[in-house]
Structure formats: C-alpha cells, structure tokens
A = this chain, B = another copy of it.
C-alpha cells in the first residue's frame, strides 16, 4: 500500500466513523430518545454533519484523490484499491460541486417545506404547500445545474442515488412496466376473483408477532450477534458497520401483514449490510451499491421469498401453531392468496406488488415535469388526481391521500429518489431469476426453510462488493444481462395469472 493510499484510507476512516456516529444518534432518536432530547439531538447531529462535510470536502482529500486517480491506471480496475479511489472521487466531486450557498438554501427550504407540508396535511389544503414545492423544484434544478448533465436535468439528480443510471433508461423501464401492468390489472379486475383476506385482520398479540417475525428473519440469516430488532414509528434498517446492523419494525394488533412483511423487508436491507466485505470496512464503499440495489434485497426477501408459494409451506404451519385460534381452520392456499391480494389503492406504501410501480411512475413523471417547467405546480393536486384515475382507477378524496402523502418533496434535495423503489422491484426479480437458474432446487429449499444457499449466493455475488460496482455493472456481472424489466414482468404475470385464474 502506497503512503498516499494509506493516507487516503486514514482520511476515509474518519468520515466513515462520523457517518456511523450519525447513524447511531439517528437510530437512538427513533428508538429510545425521550421527548426532552429533541433539541439537543438536533444540535449533535448538525455538529457531526458539519464535521463530516468539512472532513469530506477538504482540499487535502481532493488533492490525494486527483493524484491517486491519475496513477490508478496500473491497478486492477475491478480491485478494491481502484474502486475505492474512483467511487470516492465520484462522491467527492458531487459534494464539492454544490456551492455552500446552495447547500444552505436547500437546508433552509427543507425546514420551511417540512413545516408547510405538515401544516398543509393538517388543513387538507395543498395551496399551503404549493409555493414550497415550487421552491424545492427550483432548487432541484439548481442542484442539477451545479452537478452537471449532458441530456436531462433529472440525470444529475438520479445519478446521486443510482450511479450510472439515466433518465432515458428509467423512461424505458417505466414504459415497459406500464405496458405490462395496466393490462394485467385490467385482467385481474375482470377476473371477478376476490381473495378473502379477512384472516389477516383478526387480533394477533403484538409481542408474539414480533418474536415470530424475528424468528423468521434469523432463519433467513439475519445475525443477531451483529444486530438487534426494536420498534419504531417507521421501520428502517441501519448499519454501524458490518458487526452491528440493526433493524426496526412496527406492529399492528389487528393486521398480521404489518409486522411480518415489514420485518422481512428490513431484514433484506440488514443482511445486505451484514454481508459487506470486511476488506471494505472503514471506506465509503462499505455500503449497499445504490438505493435501488438496496431495495432489491428488501423486496427480494419480503416478496420473492416471503410472499412466494413455496415459502408458505414453511411459514404457514408455523403461523398456525403460533396462532391456533385465528388460523387453525385456514388452509395454506387461501393464506397465500390473502397475502397477495391485488387492490389498487390510494397510498403507495400500502399498495400491492402489481400496482406499486404505478405509484412510482406517477412520481417520476411529475418530478420531471416540475424540473423541466412543464408542470403547473399550483394545481399539482389536480394533476395527481387525474393520473391516479388514469393509472390506478382510484380517486383521492383529499390531497392528504393524494399529492401530500409522501414526505419526500418537503425536502428540497430529494428529487430523484423515487425511482429507486421501482428499480428495487426490477433488480430483485432479475437477481432472483438468476439465483433460481443457478440453484434449480431453490423452491424446494425455501419450502423447507433452508435459506443458506440463497443467502450465500447473494453474499458472494452481491453483498460483499458494497459500492464497488454500479447497478448496471452488477446486473451484467451477476446475470450476464443488462438491467431489464423482463424478469419482473414474467414473475408478476406468472404469479398473478395463477392466483387470479387468468
């Protein structure tokens, strides 16, 4: 290791530790903090973020990265050293390209936006939030200009979350998905089949639910020696290093899905972080490859495993044993259909596997319209209603259940994050299809509660690499194919044709 590379590693270790300290303080805020801690915690987080920013944008780091980049032609381009240098340089440039005045303006607009968004929801009045959304769209445009792009301003924004992804590629993906989903939803509606999901809405003891879902996710492979499960208002997973990756969940006494699938979902995020290679520890690439690739793992374990038919042969008898009063007379097939019921809904986070991507499509379209000046933001609530009717056939009764439902647009800097959700679904399906191809008895393994081969395959092919490769590179490396929608479309069509007798 050269002296300069050693120095780079030392500088990165400081940033890494600050990131982890921020993550710990944030986790604690959501899980443990008493009400009186709000102000102090905001100060602590602001100070650590400021120190983190100062460390990360130092001239010394910039000069080191320039120097090491120019010399890295001799390195193995897929090796740790070359990738640590190139990915860090990419992050550094993104951080440095945004002038302090813009960062400050984004921070101020976000505080005001968040406050106005909460007020608008309270009053069910979009006009309270509209001027802030307009400001946030302007600032997003400014961020895009500061970062630079060749084709579309959205390119610059989405590239922060999905390295190497373009608006054009996303448009292709969404257009293929739309072409597949809209007729499928029509067929499902026309089928007249209505799975009975009343069994999910009985009373289930909250403590038992949590113990049960934790047991399931540790069988998946979530390692409690390097993690723990707690409750929080919104479930999340967070890593303090591969040796301490925690997840949170929520629980609803009269809805079995809430806890069970939220915990499976977070376990996917958490197992990914537990699997980051120790060789990457202390660097900025010791993290999931992108928002979409991360989401691919939560969706893989939640849906492609958790909501699959083979898995129910393992899960359902255990549920019956745990809840005999509620499930003794139920059969596995009915349960399988219940947890996979398709129901076009107003709300993204409550939507089913089939229609979920339509919610994201709508947001992707509107973000681009706002960014490129096509949208009348003052009337975005009405545009929202029109598109919901067009894509999902439902009509939000008020803006709280419409355009105001997500917190994301309150933050000036978060345009470009929504596509990661859809990429998660698409990538998850493509990876899972490849895993099934390479492990022909995977369904049998899953049906008997054996997840070691699947986890090992993901660990070897994906988890250990952290952010070394872009999403597109990962898909090409692992599946031999570019990232595409075919696997997801084929999975969804096959699954729901069977469930709805299409």
Contact = CB atoms under 8 A, between A and B. Distances in A.
A17 B18 CA distance: 13
Interface string A214-254: 00000000011111100000000000111110000000000
A279 interface: no
A36 interface: yes
A34 B226 CA distance: 6
Interface in A4-36: 13-14, 17-18, 20-21, 24-25, 28, 32-36
Contact of A21 (B21, B225, B281, B282): B21
9 contacts: A17-B48, A21-B25, A21-B48, A28-B28, A32-B32, A35-B225, A39-B241, A39-B243, A41-B244
A38 interface: yes
A44 interface: yes
B37 A240 contact: yes
* Prevailing SS type, chain A contact patch: helix
Contacts of A228: 32, 34
A255 B39 CA distance: 40
Contacts of A28: 24, 28
Given A43-B13, A47-B13, A47-B14, A226 B36 contact: yes
Contacts of A244: 33-34, 36-37, 40-41
Nearest to A15: B47
A51 interface: yes
Task: Give the number of copies in the complex.
Answer: 2
B25 A44 contact: no
Contact of A24 (B13, B25, B34, B226): B25
B34 A17 contact: no
8 closest Cβ contacts across the A-B interface?
A36-B226, A37-B244, A40-B241, A36-B243, A17-B47, A17-B44, A40-B243, A36-B225
Given A17-B48, A37-B240, 15 more contacts: A13-B43, A14-B47, A17-B44, A21-B47, A21-B48, A24-B28, A33-B244, A36-B223, A36-B243, A37-B241, A39-B241, A40-B281, A41-B244, A43-B241, A44-B240
A224 B34 contact: yes
A25 B241 CA distance: 14
Contacts of A47: 13-14, 17-18, 21
A119 to B, nearest CB: 25
A476 B327 CA distance: 72
Given A51-B51, A240-B37, A44 B24 contact: yes
Contacts of A243: 34, 36-40
Nearest to A31: B32
A18 to B, nearest CB: 7
A281 B282 CA distance: 33
Contacts of A18: 47
Interface in A259-296: 281-282
Nearest to A27: B28
Given A24-B28, A225-B35, A226-B34, A240 B41 contact: yes
Interface string A35-59: 1111111011011100100000000
